[in-house]
């Protein structure tokens, strides 16, 4: 699947390793949470970038103590209707301080792209590379939001307060 990183199609150097597969030498690898838990010490000893994939039913808290050791966390969206990944992303960024790549995988659609970005995602696996421009345009669709999030944009309520204080 094509990867959009920071609004443009990007090369994906990461290898997704099945739980029973041998890990490639010297390459960044993404493992399941179950494999991370089972082989944590060995994985940390590899000295290559490491990522963990969280399924929609797996908690961000499971990685709370390890966010500084991970370069990437992939969050699965199994269906369009499953929004748990949005909450997981916000928790990882805002509560646990994850600063690496946060990647949306699975059913990632352009009409959710802006909201995913506001929750902290910066990379997206998409079904069609031709949609990259539409994904980039989604970021510019709105300039003011009512909800505050970790994306650094000031909420409408805060902007109003600032305007009143300046008058």
Query: From residue 74, how far is each of 51, 87, 147, 164, 167 by CA, in Å?
Result: 7, 13, 24, 42, 45
What's the CATH superfamily of 3-142? Answer: Aldolase class I (3.20.20.70)
Distance CA 123, CA 30 (A): 14
Phi and psi torsions of 154, nearest 5°: -80, 135
Q: Where are the domains of the chain?
A: 3-142
Q: Token pair of 89, please? A: 């992303």
Contact, 46 vs 18, CB < 8 A? no
Q: For residue 7, what pLDDT is reported?
A: 77
Is pLDDT larger for residue 31 or for residue 140?
31
Assign 111 a pLDDT band (cuts: 50, 70, 90).
confident
Nearest to 121 by CA among 97, 91, 101, 145: 101
Residue 24 in this model has a pLDDT that exceeds 80? yes
DSSP 105: E
Assign 64 a pLDDT band (cuts: 50, 70, 90).
very high
The percent of residues in the chain predicted with pLDDT above 90, rounded, is 54
Q: Which residues have CB under 8 Å from 81's CB, separation 6+?
A: none
Give pTM, 2 decimals: 0.85
Assign 6 a pLDDT band (cuts: 50, 70, 90).
confident
Residue 13 in this model has a pLDDT that exceeds 80? yes
């Amino acid at each position: 699947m094509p990867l959009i990183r920071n609004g443009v199609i990007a090369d994906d150097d990461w290898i997704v390793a099945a739980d029973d597969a041998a890990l490639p030498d010297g390459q960044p690898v993404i493992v399941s949470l179950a494999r991370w838990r089972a082989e944590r010490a060995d994985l940390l000893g590899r000295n290559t970038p490491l990522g963990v994939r969280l399924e929609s039913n797996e908690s961000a808290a499971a990685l709370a103590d390890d966010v500084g050791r991970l370069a990437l966390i992939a969050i699965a969206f199994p269906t369009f209707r499953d929004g748990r990944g949005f909450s997981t992303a916000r928790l990882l960024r805002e509560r646990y301080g994850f600063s690496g790549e946060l990647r949306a995988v699975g059913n990632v659609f352009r009409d959710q792209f802006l909201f995913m970005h506001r929750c902290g995602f910066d990379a997206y696996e998409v079904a069609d590379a031709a949609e990259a421009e539409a994904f980039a345009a989604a970021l510019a669709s709105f300039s003011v939001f009512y909800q505050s999030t970790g994306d650094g944009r000031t909420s409408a309520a805060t902007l109003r307060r600032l305007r009143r204080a300046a008058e």
